A = this chain, B = another copy of it.
């Protein structure tokens, strides 16, 4: 008996060549393409809503259909004028590394199943450890992203605290929802999750934290973790890590720093200064698929004391009993929630081996430079209002023509109108956020292919859309 799931080498080669050409052509055309090729579900659903076919068909035709109906209707997060959410612009060696890993179908669950990849993960994690100034006793695990890193961190924190009853977790109102979700997953009830208000600088206030912890302790609750932001996703604000670390050390509370976005700053001397104190955290999350130019998915959780992870996640299992083979070999599955795990280290390694750290630093520095220039341009514009200073590549602003004396409701109407026009226009993409209830436009400028012309043209368009929206009377 034979099955029919294999292909001739010639057909494999021909299809791979076609995929490669599609990707290279896409890359070449990207600056001239629409950034967002969105569609309402009603328009998109019909061509795809089909039963699985009983018999096969042309793979080349299916690839074309996938490109047209599946992959194209999307936000092009790697477009040089994609400034929404957190852009992700992978390098070609990163893409090829993932292609290799997929073709080898690596499973880094244990050393036994993937010794080379397990070793490489340790090497790459050691690079991160050094960038953050962590001691040699630190360790970590590569994850699907920041959400899994935050989850693993809070599990480790809870287990390190002995899993007390009425456990409470602290974060600011600027913290990412991934941390809220992680707290919910590990069983922190809404009434034990403390969302601390921030002030005008959108940073966690250590006094507010201390007051909340003291009140909880007095009420019989057990604080198990503080989640600080470096940087927060809305504004790029970096929490006062030294003061928070002082406090957490005194009180014996696990400090997790969410550096999913801002962790890339650690590779720059001036960025490392902004992250001062991060090495005092018990854990740090960072996403190489954000500002370290890797394709989805790769996050990293570092913990200051490596064994806290295996104490939290290591579980004996009969069918994995052979994985103990080789004393003290690192088994990835003992360090987080996943058992079967892709190799996520190779893309980081191959990118850095190909381009070198100097090029990576220049690319991160460019994001900082462009966002600074964007903030300066906004600050000097008579039509736009800078709402937060550029930080970690992020700028928040809004349309607010000087002298127009518009009220908040009207400003929100105008800026939502501008955002919708940016969406449908397709030339650039930005997203919005809410800054203590103020509706804000938000640009995140961290793509290594972005130029000042891209940023400038986007700001010009927003200015024009804003003037037009302001000149259009409210329909109500």
Quick check: which of A109-117, A239-247, A381-389 contacts chain B, the rest being far away?
A109-117
Among A40-48, A203-211, A277-285, A300-308, the stretch that binds chain B is: A40-48
Is there contact, CB below 8 Å, between A71 and B104? yes
Residues from chain B with Cβ under 8 Å of A431 in the complex: 319, 322
A178–B337 Cα distance when bound, in Å, is 8
The smallest C-beta distance from A382 to any residue of chain B, in angstroms, reads: 27
**Counting chain B CB atoms within 10 Å of each CB, which of A52, A78, A451 scores highest?**
A52
Contact across chains for A13 and B20 when beta carbons are under 8 A apart: yes
Stretch at the interface among A92-100, A215-223, A465-473: A92-100
- Contact pick for A112, options B75, B119, B360, CB 8 Å: B75
Q: Is the CB of B52 within 8 A of A357?
A: yes
Question: Given contacts A148-B338, A180-B315, A317-B177, is CB(A116)–CB(B70) below 8 Å?
Answer: yes
Whether A123 touches B38, Cβ cut-off 8 Å, given contacts A3-B359, A181-B337, A319-B234, is no
A93 and chain B: residue at smallest CB distance: B59
Q: Which A residues from 258 to 308 make CB contacts under 8 A with B?
A: 287, 289, 293, 295-297
Give the nearest-CB partner of A359 in chain B. B4
User: Which of A139-147, A403-411, A455-463 forms part of the interface with chain B?
Assistant: A139-147
A330: nearest residue on chain B (CB-CB)? B41
Which residues in B have their C-beta under 8 angstroms from that of A58?
Answer: 354
| A433 CB contacts on chain B under 8 angstroms | 318-319, 321
Annotate A41-66 by CB proximity to B: 1 below 8 A, 0 otherwise. 10011001111111111110011011
Question: Does A400 lie at the interface of the complex (its beta carbon under 8 Å from any beta carbon of B)?
Answer: no
Task: Point out the residue from B5, B91, B185, B322 that lies within 8 Å of A337, measured CB to CB.
Answer: B185
Q: Does A84 contact B (CB under 8 A)?
A: yes
Contact with B along A423-457 (1 / 0, CB 8 A): 10000000111110000001000001101000000
A99 cross-chain contacts in B, Cβ below 8 A: 16, 19, 23, 95, 98-99, 102
Bound CA–CA A99/B63 (angstroms)? 11
- Asked if A101 CB lies within 8 Å of chain B CBs, one says yes
The CA-CA distance from A146 to B53 in the complex, in Å, is: 26
Identity of the chain B residue whose Cβ is nearest the Cβ of A362 in the assembled complex = B3
With A62-B354, A78-B105, A181-B337 known as contacts, the answer to whether A116 contacts B432 (CB < 8 A) is: no
Report whether B350 and A62 are in contact in the complex, using a CB–CB cutoff of 8 Å: yes
- Tell me if A72 counts as interface (CB < 8 A to partner B): yes
- Most chain B CB within 10 A, of A19, A20, A127, is at A20
Query: In the assembled complex, which residues on chain B have CB atoms less than 8 Å from the CB atom of A362?
Result: 1, 3-4
Pair A340/B146 contact, Cβ less than 8 Å: yes
Most B-side CB within 10 Å, residue of A16, A90, A178, A318: A318
Q: Which residue on B lies nearest to A289, using beta carbons?
A: B340
Indicate whether A107 reaches chain B with its CB closer than 8 angstroms. Answer: yes
Q: Does A12 contact B (CB under 8 A)?
A: yes
Distance A313 CA – B181 CA, assembled complex (angstroms): 7
CB distance from A68 to the nearest CB of B (A): 9
Cα separation A184 to B77 with both chains bound (whole Å): 36
Cβ-based interface call for A366 (8 A): yes
* In the complex, A358 has a CB within 8 A of chain B: yes
Q: Is B181 a contact of A158 with CB atoms below 8 Å?
A: no
Given known A295-B102, A316-B177, A338-B148, contact A5–B359 (CB-CB < 8 A): yes
Task: Enumerate A297-352 residues with CB–CB distance to B below 8 Å.
Answer: 297, 312-313, 315-322, 325-326, 328-330, 337-343, 346, 349-352
A117 and B17 contacting across the interface, CB-CB below 8 Å: no
Residues of chain B contacted by A98 (CB below 8 angstroms):
98-99, 102
Residue of B nearest to A113 (CB): B75
Residues of chain B within 8 A of A135, CB atoms compared: none
The answer to whether the Cβ of A353 comes within 8 Å of any Cβ in the partner chain is yes
Partner of A51, one of B93, B127, B293: B127
Contact at A53–B352, with CB atoms within 8 Å?
A: yes
Bound-state CA distance A24–B296 (Å) is: 24
Indicate whether A322 sits within 8 Å of B419 (C-beta atoms), given known contacts A73-B116, A93-B59: yes
A 128-153 contacts with B by CB, 8 A? 144-148, 151
- Could you jot down 17 A-B contacts, CB within 8 Å? A4-B362, A9-B24, A15-B96, A17-B17, A26-B104, A49-B126, A55-B358, A56-B354, A59-B93, A65-B353, A69-B120, A72-B116, A73-B115, A74-B104, A77-B105, A185-B186, A321-B434
